[in-house]
Protein backbone atom coordinates (compact mmCIF):
# COMPACT_ATOMS: atom_id res chain seq x y z
CA UNK A 1 0.00 0.00 0.00
CA UNK A 2 1.57 3.29 -1.09
CA UNK A 3 1.25 5.96 1.59
CA UNK A 4 2.50 9.55 1.69
CA UNK A 5 2.34 12.41 4.19
CA UNK A 6 1.86 15.59 2.12
CA UNK A 7 3.96 18.66 2.83
CA UNK A 8 2.11 21.56 4.41
CA UNK A 9 2.72 23.74 1.34
CA UNK A 10 0.76 21.39 -0.95
CA UNK A 11 -2.80 22.26 -1.95
CA UNK A 12 -5.29 22.31 0.91
CA UNK A 13 -9.05 22.19 1.34
CA UNK A 14 -8.93 24.03 4.64
CA UNK A 15 -7.59 24.44 8.16
CA UNK A 16 -9.02 23.12 11.43
CA UNK A 17 -9.27 25.44 14.44
CA UNK A 18 -10.71 24.80 17.93
CA UNK A 19 -12.19 27.98 19.41
CA UNK A 20 -11.24 29.20 22.93
CA UNK A 21 -14.08 29.22 25.45
CA UNK A 22 -14.89 29.57 29.13
CA UNK A 23 -13.91 26.00 30.02
CA UNK A 24 -10.42 26.27 28.52
CA UNK A 25 -7.33 27.72 30.14
CA UNK A 26 -8.02 30.81 28.03
CA UNK A 27 -10.87 31.77 30.40
CA UNK A 28 -9.08 34.79 31.97
CA UNK A 29 -7.80 35.98 28.57
CA UNK A 30 -10.82 35.51 26.28
CA UNK A 31 -11.22 39.24 25.68
CA UNK A 32 -7.79 39.50 24.08
CA UNK A 33 -7.40 36.02 22.58
CA UNK A 34 -10.71 35.57 20.74
CA UNK A 35 -9.88 38.46 18.37
CA UNK A 36 -6.63 36.65 17.48
CA UNK A 37 -8.54 33.47 16.59
CA UNK A 38 -11.03 35.56 14.63
CA UNK A 39 -8.23 37.19 12.66
CA UNK A 40 -6.68 33.79 11.89
CA UNK A 41 -10.02 32.41 10.70
CA UNK A 42 -10.66 35.51 8.60
CA UNK A 43 -7.24 35.33 6.97
CA UNK A 44 -7.65 31.63 6.15
CA UNK A 45 -11.14 32.19 4.73
CA UNK A 46 -9.77 34.44 1.99
CA UNK A 47 -7.77 31.52 0.62
CA UNK A 48 -9.60 28.33 1.66
CA UNK A 49 -12.04 26.91 4.22
CA UNK A 50 -11.71 27.47 7.95
CA UNK A 51 -13.25 24.52 9.81
CA UNK A 52 -14.03 25.60 13.37
CA UNK A 53 -14.92 23.37 16.33
CA UNK A 54 -16.68 25.43 19.01
CA UNK A 55 -19.30 25.01 21.76
CA UNK A 56 -21.03 28.27 20.74
CA UNK A 57 -21.19 28.62 16.93
CA UNK A 58 -23.21 31.85 17.04
CA UNK A 59 -20.53 33.58 19.11
CA UNK A 60 -17.85 32.44 16.69
CA UNK A 61 -19.86 33.48 13.62
CA UNK A 62 -20.34 36.97 15.03
CA UNK A 63 -16.65 37.45 15.80
CA UNK A 64 -15.22 36.09 12.56
CA UNK A 65 -17.71 38.13 10.53
CA UNK A 66 -16.63 41.25 12.39
CA UNK A 67 -13.02 40.32 11.59
CA UNK A 68 -13.78 40.26 7.87
CA UNK A 69 -14.07 36.53 7.20
CA UNK A 70 -15.57 35.25 3.95
CA UNK A 71 -18.81 33.74 5.37
CA UNK A 72 -19.17 30.88 2.91
CA UNK A 73 -15.62 29.73 3.68
CA UNK A 74 -16.20 29.34 7.42
CA UNK A 75 -17.77 26.07 8.61
CA UNK A 76 -18.54 25.80 12.31
CA UNK A 77 -19.37 22.57 14.13
CA UNK A 78 -20.77 22.55 17.65
CA UNK A 79 -18.16 20.63 19.64
CA UNK A 80 -16.56 20.91 23.05
CA UNK A 81 -12.84 20.71 23.72
CA UNK A 82 -10.41 20.84 26.61
CA UNK A 83 -8.28 23.41 24.83
CA UNK A 84 -7.41 24.91 21.45
CA UNK A 85 -4.23 23.21 20.21
CA UNK A 86 -5.67 21.64 17.06
CA UNK A 87 -2.21 20.97 15.66
CA UNK A 88 -1.76 18.24 18.22
CA UNK A 89 -5.18 16.58 18.41
CA UNK A 90 -6.44 17.21 14.88
CA UNK A 91 -6.15 14.59 12.13
CA UNK A 92 -2.85 13.90 10.43
CA UNK A 93 -3.91 13.36 6.84
CA UNK A 94 -2.01 11.02 4.55
CA UNK A 95 -2.54 9.97 0.95
CA UNK A 96 -3.12 6.26 0.49
CA UNK A 97 -2.93 5.23 -3.15
CA UNK A 98 -3.55 8.91 -3.89
CA UNK A 99 -6.68 9.21 -1.73
CA UNK A 100 -6.86 11.06 1.61
CA UNK A 101 -7.13 9.15 4.89
CA UNK A 102 -7.50 10.84 8.29
CA UNK A 103 -5.16 9.32 10.86
CA UNK A 104 -6.48 9.82 14.40
CA UNK A 105 -3.45 9.34 16.64
CA UNK A 106 -3.67 9.37 20.42
CA UNK A 107 -3.20 12.69 22.24
CA UNK A 108 -2.31 12.53 25.93
CA UNK A 109 -1.94 16.21 26.78
CA UNK A 110 1.80 16.30 25.95
CA UNK A 111 2.74 13.52 28.29
CA UNK A 112 -0.20 13.73 30.74
CA UNK A 113 0.51 17.37 31.60
CA UNK A 114 -3.07 18.50 30.85
CA UNK A 115 -6.54 16.95 30.44
CA UNK A 116 -7.22 15.73 26.91
CA UNK A 117 -10.35 13.59 27.07
CA UNK A 118 -12.42 16.00 24.95
CA UNK A 119 -9.60 16.98 22.60
CA UNK A 120 -8.99 13.33 21.85
CA UNK A 121 -12.54 13.03 20.48
CA UNK A 122 -12.58 16.09 18.19
CA UNK A 123 -11.46 14.31 15.02
CA UNK A 124 -13.86 11.41 15.60
CA UNK A 125 -16.82 13.70 16.29
CA UNK A 126 -16.12 15.97 13.33
CA UNK A 127 -15.94 12.89 11.14
CA UNK A 128 -19.20 11.55 12.58
CA UNK A 129 -20.84 14.94 11.96
CA UNK A 130 -19.96 14.73 8.27
CA UNK A 131 -17.25 17.39 8.11
CA UNK A 132 -15.04 15.13 6.02
CA UNK A 133 -17.72 13.42 3.96
CA UNK A 134 -16.68 9.95 2.79
CA UNK A 135 -12.99 10.36 3.68
CA UNK A 136 -12.08 7.44 5.97
CA UNK A 137 -10.81 7.96 9.52
CA UNK A 138 -8.37 5.48 11.03
CA UNK A 139 -7.64 5.26 14.77
CA UNK A 140 -3.94 4.73 15.44
CA UNK A 141 -2.71 3.18 18.69
CA UNK A 142 0.24 5.53 19.02
CA UNK A 143 0.63 8.87 20.76
CA UNK A 144 1.68 11.46 18.19
CA UNK A 145 1.11 15.20 17.90
CA UNK A 146 1.10 17.03 14.58
CA UNK A 147 3.45 19.68 15.90
CA UNK A 148 6.14 17.08 16.56
CA UNK A 149 6.76 16.16 12.92
CA UNK A 150 7.51 17.98 9.67
CA UNK A 151 7.13 16.37 6.23
CA UNK A 152 8.60 17.36 2.88
CA UNK A 153 5.96 15.30 1.07
CA UNK A 154 8.68 13.06 -0.37
CA UNK A 155 9.27 10.66 2.49
CA UNK A 156 11.42 12.77 4.84
CA UNK A 157 10.38 13.53 8.43
CA UNK A 158 12.07 16.19 10.58
CA UNK A 159 11.52 15.74 14.31
CA UNK A 160 13.09 16.12 17.75
CA UNK A 161 14.41 13.41 20.03
CA UNK A 162 13.22 15.31 23.10
CA UNK A 163 9.60 14.83 22.08
CA UNK A 164 9.29 11.58 20.15
CA UNK A 165 11.63 9.63 22.45
CA UNK A 166 10.20 11.09 25.63
CA UNK A 167 8.93 8.30 27.93
CA UNK A 168 5.78 10.33 28.58
CA UNK A 169 4.52 9.52 25.05
CA UNK A 170 5.29 5.94 23.93
CA UNK A 171 7.61 4.54 26.63
CA UNK A 172 7.53 1.03 25.17
CA UNK A 173 9.16 2.11 21.88
CA UNK A 174 12.82 2.72 21.08
CA UNK A 175 13.88 5.09 18.30
CA UNK A 176 14.09 2.40 15.64
CA UNK A 177 10.64 1.14 16.65
CA UNK A 178 9.18 4.66 16.48
CA UNK A 179 10.68 5.02 13.00
CA UNK A 180 9.21 1.68 11.94
CA UNK A 181 5.75 2.64 13.21
CA UNK A 182 5.79 6.04 11.54
CA UNK A 183 7.15 4.59 8.31
CA UNK A 184 4.24 2.17 8.23
CA UNK A 185 1.55 4.72 9.05
CA UNK A 186 2.90 7.74 7.17
CA UNK A 187 4.89 6.18 4.37
CA UNK A 188 8.06 8.05 5.33
CA UNK A 189 11.51 6.68 4.56
CA UNK A 190 14.00 9.16 6.02
CA UNK A 191 14.21 10.66 9.51
CA UNK A 192 16.13 13.78 10.48
CA UNK A 193 16.42 13.79 14.28
CA UNK A 194 17.30 17.00 16.10
CA UNK A 195 19.04 16.22 19.37
CA UNK A 196 19.24 19.87 20.47
CA UNK A 197 16.98 22.89 20.72
CA UNK A 198 14.24 24.03 23.11
CA UNK A 199 12.19 27.06 24.09
CA UNK A 200 11.63 28.05 27.70
CA UNK A 201 7.94 27.95 28.58
CA UNK A 202 7.14 25.31 25.94
CA UNK A 203 4.88 22.53 27.27
CA UNK A 204 5.36 20.22 24.29
CA UNK A 205 8.86 18.86 25.02
CA UNK A 206 10.40 20.70 22.04
CA UNK A 207 7.96 20.30 19.21
CA UNK A 208 9.82 20.75 15.97
CA UNK A 209 7.32 23.32 14.70
CA UNK A 210 8.61 25.77 17.31
CA UNK A 211 12.22 25.29 16.20
CA UNK A 212 12.76 24.26 12.57
CA UNK A 213 10.43 23.89 9.58
CA UNK A 214 10.79 22.07 6.29
CA UNK A 215 10.09 24.36 3.33
CA UNK A 216 9.98 23.87 -0.45
CA UNK A 217 13.10 23.18 -2.53
CA UNK A 218 15.12 21.49 0.23
CA UNK A 219 14.96 24.53 2.50
CA UNK A 220 14.75 24.60 6.30
CA UNK A 221 13.69 27.74 8.18
CA UNK A 222 14.90 27.65 11.75
CA UNK A 223 15.19 29.67 14.94
CA UNK A 224 18.59 31.25 15.48
CA UNK A 225 19.48 32.89 18.80
CA UNK A 226 22.00 35.70 18.27
CA UNK A 227 22.24 36.71 21.94
CA UNK A 228 25.14 34.87 23.56
CA UNK A 229 23.87 35.85 27.02
CA UNK A 230 20.48 34.21 26.44
CA UNK A 231 19.86 30.83 28.12
CA UNK A 232 18.86 29.37 24.74
CA UNK A 233 22.07 30.25 22.94
CA UNK A 234 24.06 27.00 23.50
CA UNK A 235 21.20 24.65 22.61
CA UNK A 236 20.10 26.60 19.54
CA UNK A 237 23.70 26.97 18.32
CA UNK A 238 24.06 23.19 18.62
CA UNK A 239 20.78 22.76 16.73
CA UNK A 240 22.04 25.04 13.96
CA UNK A 241 25.13 22.89 13.61
CA UNK A 242 22.97 19.77 13.34
CA UNK A 243 20.95 21.42 10.57
CA UNK A 244 24.16 22.20 8.74
CA UNK A 245 25.10 18.51 8.93
CA UNK A 246 21.78 17.28 7.57
CA UNK A 247 21.71 16.20 3.94
CA UNK A 248 18.91 16.04 1.40
CA UNK A 249 17.87 12.87 -0.37
CA UNK A 250 20.37 13.83 -3.09
CA UNK A 251 23.20 14.15 -0.59
CA UNK A 252 23.39 17.95 -0.64
CA UNK A 253 23.22 20.36 2.32
CA UNK A 254 19.85 21.94 2.98
CA UNK A 255 19.36 25.62 2.19
CA UNK A 256 19.06 27.14 5.65
CA UNK A 257 17.00 30.27 6.34
CA UNK A 258 17.59 31.61 9.87
CA UNK A 259 14.68 33.29 11.61
CA UNK A 260 15.30 36.21 13.98
CA UNK A 261 15.19 35.98 17.75
CA UNK A 262 12.47 38.13 19.38
CA UNK A 263 13.02 39.90 22.67
CA UNK A 264 12.15 37.81 25.76
CA UNK A 265 8.52 37.90 26.84
CA UNK A 266 7.25 36.97 30.30
CA UNK A 267 3.88 36.34 31.90
CA UNK A 268 2.56 38.04 35.05
CA UNK A 269 4.39 35.49 37.23
CA UNK A 270 7.70 36.13 35.50
CA UNK A 271 7.73 32.89 33.49
CA UNK A 272 9.35 33.19 30.09
CA UNK A 273 6.98 32.64 27.17
CA UNK A 274 7.88 30.71 23.99
CA UNK A 275 7.75 33.38 21.28
CA UNK A 276 8.97 31.88 18.00
CA UNK A 277 8.65 32.90 14.37
CA UNK A 278 9.03 29.27 13.31
CA UNK A 279 5.37 28.67 14.26
CA UNK A 280 4.01 29.92 10.92
CA UNK A 281 1.14 28.32 8.96
CA UNK A 282 1.32 27.64 5.22
CA UNK A 283 -2.00 27.88 3.34
CA UNK A 284 -2.98 28.10 -0.32
CA UNK A 285 -1.14 31.08 -1.79
CA UNK A 286 -0.02 32.53 1.54
CA UNK A 287 1.89 32.04 4.79
CA UNK A 288 0.45 33.30 8.07
CA UNK A 289 3.32 34.38 10.32
CA UNK A 290 3.07 35.03 14.06
CA UNK A 291 4.28 38.45 15.16
CA UNK A 292 4.86 39.67 18.71
CA UNK A 293 4.93 43.49 18.57
CA UNK A 294 8.68 43.12 18.37
CA UNK A 295 11.40 44.98 16.47
CA UNK A 296 12.24 41.69 14.69
CA UNK A 297 8.74 41.14 13.27
CA UNK A 298 9.50 42.66 9.87
CA UNK A 299 12.74 40.74 9.52
CA UNK A 300 10.85 37.53 10.28
CA UNK A 301 8.25 38.26 7.61
CA UNK A 302 11.04 38.92 5.10
CA UNK A 303 12.92 35.71 5.98
CA UNK A 304 9.82 33.54 5.66
CA UNK A 305 9.05 35.23 2.35
CA UNK A 306 12.48 34.06 1.14
CA UNK A 307 11.58 30.48 2.12
CA UNK A 308 8.19 30.70 0.35
CA UNK A 309 8.66 32.83 -2.77
CA UNK A 310 5.50 33.70 -4.65
CA UNK A 311 3.22 33.48 -1.60
CA UNK A 312 1.61 36.36 0.23
CA UNK A 313 3.20 36.77 3.67
CA UNK A 314 0.64 37.85 6.27
CA UNK A 315 1.57 38.79 9.83
CA UNK A 316 -0.84 37.91 12.64
CA UNK A 317 -0.34 39.48 16.06
CA UNK A 318 0.06 36.38 18.25
CA UNK A 319 1.36 37.99 21.42
CA UNK A 320 -1.81 36.91 23.31
CA UNK A 321 -1.39 33.29 22.15
CA UNK A 322 1.94 32.79 23.89
CA UNK A 323 0.25 33.46 27.24
CA UNK A 324 -0.78 29.78 27.05
CA UNK A 325 2.63 28.74 25.67
CA UNK A 326 1.80 28.23 22.00
CA UNK A 327 1.41 30.23 18.80
CA UNK A 328 -0.18 30.30 15.36
CA UNK A 329 0.81 26.90 13.97
CA UNK A 330 -0.06 25.25 17.28
CA UNK A 331 -3.73 26.32 17.06
CA UNK A 332 -4.22 25.17 13.46
CA UNK A 333 -4.12 21.93 11.47
CA UNK A 334 -4.12 21.95 7.68
CA UNK A 335 -6.54 19.70 5.83
CA UNK A 336 -5.08 18.62 2.47
CA UNK A 337 -6.90 18.58 -0.84
CA UNK A 338 -9.82 16.14 -0.93
CA UNK A 339 -10.28 16.11 2.84
CA UNK A 340 -13.37 18.27 3.32
CA UNK A 341 -16.90 17.43 2.31
CA UNK A 342 -18.01 19.40 -0.73
CA UNK A 343 -20.78 22.03 -0.47
CA UNK A 344 -21.09 21.90 3.29
CA UNK A 345 -23.58 24.53 4.46
CA UNK A 346 -22.05 26.77 7.16
CA UNK A 347 -23.95 27.22 10.40
CATH number at residue 51: 3.75.10.10
**Residue 239 covered by a domain:** yes
Percent of the chain with pLDDT over 70: 98
Pair type for strands 99-106 and 3-4: unpaired
Mean pLDDT for the chain overall:
97
Could you tell me if residue 236 is inside a domain? yes
Sign of the Cα pseudo-torsion (64, 149, 81, 317, in order): negative
Task: Give per-residue pLDDT as tens, 71-127.
Answer: 999 999 999 999 999 999 999 999 999 999 999 999 999 999 999 999 999 999 999
- Residue 315 in any domain: the answer is yes
pLDDT tier, 343 (very low <50, low <70, confident <90, very high otherwise): low
* In-domain check, residue 344: no
Give the count of domains, the chain: 1
347 domain-assigned: no
Query: Is 345 part of any domain?
Result: no
Q: Which residue range forms the structural domain that includes residue 98?
A: 3-336
Is residue 342 assigned to a domain? no
Around Cβ 195, how many Cβ atoms within 10 Å?
12
Express each pLDDT in 204-220 by its tens digit. 999 999 999 999 999 99
For residue 125, tell me if it sits in a domain: yes
Residue-wise pLDDT for 271-319, tens only, equals 999 999 999 999 999 999 999 999 999 999 999 999 999 999 999 999 9
Amino acid sequence: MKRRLPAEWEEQDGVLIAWPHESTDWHPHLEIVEPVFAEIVAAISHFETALVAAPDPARVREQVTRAGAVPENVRIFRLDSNDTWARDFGPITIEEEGRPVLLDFGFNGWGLKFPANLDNQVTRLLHAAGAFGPVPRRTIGLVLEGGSIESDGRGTILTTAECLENPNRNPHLRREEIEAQLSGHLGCERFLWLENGYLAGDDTDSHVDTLARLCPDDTIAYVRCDDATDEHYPALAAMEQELQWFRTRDGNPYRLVPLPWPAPRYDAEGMRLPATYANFLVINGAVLVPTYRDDKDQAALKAIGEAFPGREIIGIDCLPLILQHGSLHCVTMQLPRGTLRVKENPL
